[in-house]
Amino acid sequence: MKSSTLATSVILVLYLSNISCHPSRKEDTSKIAKEANKENFDVRSKEKDADFIVEIVAWNYEEIKLAQLAQTKSTNESIIIIADSLQSEHLTLVNELKGFANKNGISIPLEEDKTAKIKLEHLSSTENKSFDKKWCSETIVNHENNIQKFEDRWNQTENDELRDLINTTLPLLNSHLEMLKAQEEKYK
């Protein structure tokens, strides 16, 4: 499996290098990572753990970009402070996930997925006066959905290291959610 993982990783790097030079052929790196993981893992539970890591890494890239967008587009000091915190903490989480993925031979995406890119484009074109409310709403939905994914994976994984990672991450995500919901209340 090690030589297969190495070969797949080399192919993935070469492929990603090729598509980055040709933007018209650029594909969703989450999809590419999931396909590579499907080839690398012969045990279905390990493949499901790998799929989870791919999705969560892509989501964290999305959260970082959402935070950066809020930092540049919002005029609300509270939103900017929240965005600064989210960017920093999701960047730390991406690095932890990268370490876990590397240790476990999991291929990961290099950016957010295509759906997230569309959401980011739409949000960036939102008028300034309604931006903060939409940003809060989008970020809350993302956190709620991904907290559920973390909880589901914790119940399904057999990997103790992944369970530990989930246990340390869930309180952080829940604190983000509380902070975002408190901010959203101000818009009602």
pLDDT digits (tens, 9 = 90+) for 139-188: 999 999 999 999 999 999 999 999 999 999 999 999 999 999 999 999 87
pLDDT exceeding 90 applies to what percent of the chain? 72
Instruction: State the average pLDDT over residues 21-34.
Output: 62
Residue-range domains of the chain with CATH: 2-185 (1.20.1260.10)
The per-residue pLDDT for 74 is 95
CA torsion 94-95-96-99 (nearest 10°) is 120
Give tens-digit pLDDT for 81-120.
Answer: 999 999 999 999 999 999 999 999 999 999 999 999 999 9
62 is written with which tokens?
């999305």
Model-level pTM? 0.80
For residues 187 and 136, the answer to whether their CB atoms sit within 8 Å is: yes
141 is written with which tokens?
């939905």
Q: To the nearest whole number, what is the mean pLDDT of the chain?
A: 86
DSSP state of 80: H
The per-residue pLDDT for 40 is 67
Give tens-digit pLDDT for 29-47.
Answer: 877 876 777 766 666 668 8
